[in-house]
Structure 1
Amino acid sequence: MKAPRFGKWFAGLTLLNQPQHKQVLEALQPAVGLERVIALIEQIRAAGRCCPRCQCAAWQRHGHANNLQRYRCRQCGHTFNDLSGTPLARLRLKEKWIDHLSALLDSLPVRRAASRVGVHRNTAFRWRHRFVHWVKRDSPERLSGIVEADEMFLLESQKGSRKLDRPARKHGGAAKKRGISRALDCILVARDRSGQTIDAVTGRGALTARQLEHHLLPKLDPQALLVSDANAAYRAFARKHRITHQTVNLRAGHRVRASSTGAIHVQNVNAYHQRFRQWLAPFHGVASRYLPNYLGWRRALDGGRIISTKQLLHIAIRPIHR
């Protein structure tokens, strides 16, 4: 629209009645959402923009496509935009991303999120896991001081699978065997007293020392004090790697012990387990293959660490601790 024509149209806005005002605002809302998302993406990527192929930071502008500025690498000639190489690459309907991020912050189930955003429930489900794909990798590099570690178990689920490798269970069901078995997914959570948290789905069944070496050892400060329950896997792991280790015997009712280094307990990590279970309940069960995504999503929200759509979009595109 040319400037004189736009000026005439803009001057006529004051003559609109209330229903017409509402109609204009509803028509402009997608454009406003699109501009806001594009501005946030450019702001997030501006500092470290580089070629996703060769990591070269020398680039030049190379036109526009799909509402995003494209760039051309001066070293390899590869063209890219600010979403290239991220889980959000090639996602459409950018004008609705802010509403979707808001639904993630509110932890809405798929159908409620789809209703709020105005997309199909399958789209809302795919978007959920694209947006939290890198969120799960946004974890602290080290746990230090007093580090509490404990595992929790959830019933293995093949929800959404077209073919099952076992008989179907009605309404979630229960494990056939009592106690810890291969029918349960093991989730390891470690948390220091400053609130830094790591988590991992270690596999099915009981936790082993080898799994602790793989998931916990790279994140554990050598000078840290590891506190756990009386599980033998922690003792074997700590003895092998010469890690200072203290235990509490929960079965015997010993929840807290005094020590010169501080109170010895695993109540912080057990409280985290409880919050995760309560947060997960409205989703009515999640597939085992998606558990790492839900763990990362919950970790981002825990303790108010992520409170805005901008922060959530930032780690969805570029994790802080990666």
Structure 2
Amino acid sequence: MRTVVLVLFALCALLAFVYTEEQAQEVAPALRADVNQADAQQAGELKVDVQQADAQQAEEQKVDTLTAEELSIQNAISESVRNRRQNFKSLSPAEQQKIRQAKAVTKKLLPPRNKLIAINGQLIPATTVKKNVKTIVKVEKVNKQAATNAKKSKKLEKKAQEQQKKVTNLKNRIEKLKSSNSKSKKTQRKIKHLNKKLRKANKKLRKCQKAQKKAAKKVASQKKFLINNTSVAQLQLTIKKNVVEYKKKTHALVKNMNKQVKVASKKPTNANIIVAKKSVKEVLKHARNTAEIKRLLSKAEGNIKKLVKKAYRSEGKFMKKNVKKALKTLKKAAKKHKKAVKKNKKAKRQCKCQK
């Protein structure tokens, strides 16, 4: 029995060994193929890496060359700037000043970017209107200060006059006592006492005169700030009038322009076209006077019919925008005027209450 079991076990082992060997023979070529594929892949990847590295190096070199070119350009520019500065420094001081003055003049001559507002037939930048509002507020402050300083100076003047009277009285009394030629101890004591008083009075007088001079100087310096010595209310009225006039005129001109252009577009007769052209020109003159508009007009003047089309399509809308902007600035200015007027009224009421 034992021998049978051992024999069966040996047979099983033999069969297993044979089976494994057959399988190994079958798998070996597949494994070899896999290994070959892996080797090929690795080789390909290495080649790609090498190519990429070469390309990167080439790009870096290119970048370096570009930056070198840029640097050379920058150096050339800086050299030209240095040369210009050296040339300027080599000039005489009078010539240098001439160049500086010319630059300053050109800066001043350049038209401002903000819109020009037509007030009483004159084209004035919008900023000047705002500046006028600021000056009104300034003038109000200066007026208040000037009033207080004037009062102070008047008070000090009165004080100085009173002190002067005291001094003259004391001097007269001393002269009277001296003229009496009395050598009594009483009179001598009186004279001594009055002399002391005189010294003190003279000191006070000098102080009063100094203070009065200071106050007068302040009043004189503040007069410079007042615009042509005009009152605040007058200035406000003039600007308010200008604003109202400008608003009325612009509204009327824009209305007229729209009307005439519509008429000309419906009935394009020669007379209608000329009227429309004139209305557009009036608005352009009134609202803004820039090179751009002049160019548009000069181009369109040749052919009147084209001008009407341009006026209705582009120029009309373009000018409407400008007029609206100009009116906005004026509205803001008007608001500031109102505030200034209110402040002025308040100040006047307070003055009345104090009186």
TM-score, with structure 2 as normaliser: 0.17
Larger radius of gyration: 2
Structure with more of its chain in helix, by fraction: 2
TM-score, with structure 1 as normaliser: 0.18
